[in-house]
Structure 1
């Protein structure tokens, strides 16, 4: 999952900067600099390394995906797809963790 998070943040940052340099993202596209919002969303993805709870990690990934799509638009979709894969892995971990806790309580 760490590799996916780094790949997602790197993809978001690079795509946002390239979109700004090539003129695909313009200041009239969104309020402020749209490329900066994409870079910020990529950096937010890296915050999942600091937290240990899966629920908080899923909120961070969700907010990063939403912020990136709102800021950069269709250019953010490769990074958003990677974020969705990370979210699926987090929900799988959360379900496995809850199952193990319930199983231990039964015995």
Structure 2
């Protein structure tokens, strides 16, 4: 392992907002309003109409919210009898930024 690789690894371990599930060459894209605390994410369901999540869930990392959206999409796939290509779960951060769109039937 080269000196540059070791330095990058050391920088990653010292970064407070690093999400280990993201690319190791960049910091986490989304951080909570309170440094290091959980952030609320909303999971809107989109089809022909949009159903907005008014409660949301708290996660400490954006990647955890994306993984949760993937689980939701899998649950809907099991329950839905007809394939609807426009059906998707949209992950929205508490800052109102859309961070991910997970199609249910991809």
Give the alignment's TM-score, normalised by structure 1: 0.32
| Bigger proportion of residues as helix | 1
| Bigger proportion of residues as strand | 2
Greater relative CO (CA pairs within 8 A, separation 6+): 1
